[in-house]
A and B are shown apart, each in its own frame.
Chain A
Amino acid sequence: DAGVTQSPTHLIKTRGQQVTLRCSPKSGHDTVSWYQQALGQGPQFIFQYYEEEERQRGNFPDRFSGHQFPNYSSELNVNALLLGDSALYLCASSGRGGDTEAFFGQGTRLTVV
């Protein structure tokens, strides 16, 4: 049983560029949440997707957007990258519309230079 998988594992981008990160949820899960984890900090909630719609959003600017596909996989897009966007981006999936425990992927380490 594959767990939550994310791609790519590492990424280096230049300020002002755009990036797309991908997440495949654990088998049987239908809900995907994205988190940003800065070095030495706890994960911060970005948004959650369920039934291909953004259902809840944290305190992140509109530069952060996402998408969920019919197979429940999800993308996180960040436009106009800033140095401060450098972080580990984690995807977590849960089942039954978010009514079960959340399991995390291994994350994508984004470095903005």
Chain B
Amino acid sequence: GENVEQHPSTLSVQEGDSAVIKCTYSDSASNYFPWYKQELGKRPQLIIDIRSNVGEKKDQRIAVTLNKTAKHFSLHITETQPEDSAVYFCAASFGGSQGNLIFGKGTKLSVKP
């Protein structure tokens, strides 16, 4: 079945450094790849997404890249701040709907001041 693998499971960086989280997916038909940030006890919040017809997308300090051939996509956060500390999930769509998502297991990002 469909699968999304996410690495690393934990990531610790100093404030101001960059953080990179990588994901791979198995379903060639996936065409939508969102990233969610989840703080402790709160709902997952969509922070950026990318569709299969785009290779890269940037929103201020956050960027996502997609390599459809290799079935890889990555999240890049530059100039990290303590408030970036959270669990980040990548996901890939299936079944032709952006509401049907297979999630990775998450990356716990800690940004040390």
A68 within 8 A of B: no
- Tell me which residues across on chain B come within 8 A of A44, comparing CB atoms: 103
Known pairs A42-B105, A43-B89, A106-B43; A100 contacts B95 (CB<8 A): no
In angstroms, Cα B93 to Cα A31, docked, is 15
Interface CB pairs A-B, < 8 A, 15: A33-B101, A40-B106, A42-B6, A42-B89, A42-B106, A43-B89, A45-B102, A59-B1, A90-B44, A93-B99, A94-B98, A101-B34, A102-B98, A104-B36, A107-B43
A105 within 8 A of B: yes
- Tell me which residues across on chain A come within 8 A of B104, comparing CB atoms: 42
A56 touching B95 by the CB < 8 A rule?
yes
Q: Which residue of B lies closest to A94 (CB)?
A: B99
B45 within 8 A of A: yes
Provide the main secondary structure of the chain B interface. Answer: strand
B76 to chain A, nearest CB (A): 20
Q: Quick one: which of B82-102 are within 8 Å of A by CB?
A: 89, 91, 95-102
In angstroms, Cα B45 to Cα A40, docked, is 16
In angstroms, Cα B9 to Cα A44, docked, is 17
A33 touching B1 by the CB < 8 A rule?
no
In angstroms, Cα B102 to Cα A105, docked, is 17
How many chain A residues touch B (CB < 8 A): the figure is 29
Binding site for A on B (CB under 8 A): 1, 6, 34, 36, 42-46, 49, 89, 91, 95-106
Known pairs A42-B105, A101-B34; A31 contacts B97 (CB<8 A): yes
B97 touching A98 by the CB < 8 A rule?
yes
B24 to chain A, nearest CB (A): 14
In angstroms, Cα B69 to Cα A99, docked, is 23
- Contact partner of B44 among A48, A55, A104, CB < 8 A? A104
- Tell me which residues across on chain B come within 8 A of A98, comparing CB atoms: 96-100
B43 touching A102 by the CB < 8 A rule?
no
